[in-house]
Chain A
């Protein structure tokens, strides 16, 4: 049977905006992600130099040592622009709210033995301060970065960190019977407890890192790449093995989010490294230094939450990061034999 459509069609003269077409290499249909990202940032006709940096323009490629011919070569594999990002996160928020209700109604965290609750408050709730720092760092990258492709994604990433901080706080409130005690305790741990101080120092040092791409490496690739799997893939299963899956329900967002954002972080690093050997070299240097600092900072925290198994847990996350870096073209060139 023949499908016979008789129509008079009005042909569009153009498929997309000129500036998008120039980037795509021709007038082709463009996706909403492309139209919402490509060439959005102004590159000309700034009326004055910024008062806070009179040596440079408002948007300036010189704020990082990474060099790119085209800053829109960075593509977010998740293709998040404002619309799709908010819709995706809103769906995840609905799921999380249901899980929080579930755990709250049944008192699954509140009724854990005191030792378990104390251990969880120690391990998880002060992380909300680290997440706030991560938000600040990603805001820095957004503020001083170049090109909407990357700054848009770092802004979304920053918002995600606030979400993570809020969820960690909600877990704390479920652990302390909604009194807010756990949050005060977490603040004290963050400011005073010996095992947390190296991580706090690391975060404070990151806040004074001047090169925004270097900060991207330190925060989004190395610190997250080691800390998140350590806590949510190695520590959390130990808790569920002993106390059931209540915590797993509440950290589901953290693990899904990490996998999803890693795709974006990986694509960004890979693009920067593939651009030039100079970039790759610079990235390797930053990664090496950042790993040394971060591994040192994680030591006492890991010892507290894993006890004797700290060494093996850290080794596992290090080797996962190694494999990841090699795939991105910034793995260590020489291996000690």
Chain B
């Protein structure tokens, strides 16, 4: 079984669009809601797309804004202007 990657954000109005975008772009991802935290798990690979977030948030978005509400994550990180990817060995 592939090791899971996860990303966890604070629960607030700003992360709503981010969580929706991740859920919609990653079919195998599961979203778990805790008090004040949203944790998204996925087997092996998770991608956060800037464009998907921009569609939902109604303004330009810099992927580095993720860090403002980030609680924790696991996986190897690959970053570009357009995608923030978590994975274990490709």
A-B interaction: yes
Which of A's residues lie within 8 Å of B, judged by CB? 1, 3, 5, 7, 9-10, 29, 31-33, 76-79
9 sampled A-B residue pairs with Cβ under 8 A: A1-B74, A3-B6, A3-B72, A5-B34, A5-B37, A9-B34, A31-B13, A33-B58, A79-B59
Instruction: Assess whether B39 is in contact with A3, with CB atoms less than 8 Å apart.
Output: yes
**B49 sits at the interface (CB 8 A):** no
In the assembled complex, the CB of A34 is this many whole angstroms from the nearest CB of chain B, namely 10
Interchain CB contact under 8 A, A29 and B39: no
Minimum CB–CB distance for B53 against chain A, Å: 13
Judge if B89 is at the interface, Cβ distance under 8 Å: no
* Interchain Cβ contacts within 8 Å, total number: 25
Note all chain A residues with C-beta closer than 8 A to B72: 3
Q: Tell whether A78 pairs with B59 under 8 Å between CB atoms, given A3-B39, A31-B13.
A: yes
> What residues of A have a CB within 8 angstroms of the CB of B16 in the complex?
29, 31
Closest to A1 in B: B74
Contact check, A77 vs B34: say whether CB atoms are below 8 A apart: no
Q: When each residue 29-51 of chain B gets 1 if its CB lies under 8 Å from chain A and 0 otherwise, what string results?
A: 00000110101000000000000
Query: What is the predominant secondary structure among interface residues of chain A facing chain B?
Result: loop
Q: Are B34 and A78 in contact (CB under 8 A)?
A: no
CB distance from A5 to the nearest CB of B (A): 6
Binding site for A on B (CB under 8 A): 6, 8, 13, 16-17, 34-35, 37, 39, 57-59, 72, 74
B-side contacts of A5, CB under 8 Å: 34, 37
- Provided the pairs A32-B13, A78-B58 are in contact, do residues A3 and B35 lie with their beta carbons within 8 angstroms? no
Q: From A1, A7, A76, A78, give the contact of B35 (CB < 8 A).
A: A7
Given contacts A31-B13, A31-B16, contact A7 B58 (CB under 8 A): no
**B74 contacts which chain A residues (CB < 8 A)?**
1
- Cβ B58 vs Cβ A76 within 8 A: yes
Residues of B within 8 A of A1 (CB): 74
Q: Quick one: closest A residue to B11, CB to CB?
A: A29
Q: How far is the CA of A31 from the CA of B15 in the complex (A)?
A: 10
Instruction: Output the least CB separation between A273 and chain B (Å).
Output: 21
A9 touching B39 by the CB < 8 A rule? Answer: no
- Kindly list chain A residues whose C-beta atoms are within 8 Å of the C-beta of B35: 7, 9-10
Report yes or no: B6 in contact with A79, Cβ–Cβ below 8 A. Answer: no
Is A7 in contact with B6, judged by CB distance below 8 angstroms? Answer: no
Chain A: CB-nearest residue to B39: A3
Least CB distance from A173 to B in Å reads 32
Partner of A7, one of B13, B34, B39: B34
Contacts of A79 in B (CB 8 A): 57-59
Q: How far is the CA of A1 from the CA of B6 in the complex (A)?
A: 11
Shortest CB–CB separation between residue A84 and chain B, in angstroms? 9
Residues of A within 8 A of B8 (CB): 3
Give chain B nearest CB distance to A267 CB in angstroms: 10
Please, which residues of chain B bring their CB within 8 A of the CB of A10?
35
| Closest CB in chain A relative to B23 CB, distance in Å | 13
CA distance A9 to B37 in the complex (A): 12
Q: How long is the Cα–Cα vector from A31 to B18 in the complex, in angstroms? A: 12
The CA of A9 and the CA of B32, in the complex, are separated in Å by 13
In the bound complex, CA of A7 to CA of B37 (Å): 12
Q: Taking the nearest CB of chain A, how far is it from the CB of B54, in angstroms? A: 10
Query: Which residues of the other chain, B, contact A32 by a CB distance below 8 angstroms?
Result: 13
What chain B residues lie within 8 Å of A77 (beta carbons)? 58
Determine the distance from Cα of A76 to Cα of B16 in the docked complex, in whole angstroms.
Answer: 17
A7-B35, A9-B35 are known contacts; what are 6 more A-B pairs with Cβ within 8 Å? Answer: A3-B6, A3-B8, A5-B34, A7-B34, A10-B35, A78-B58
CB proximity of A77 to chain B, nearest CB, Å: 5
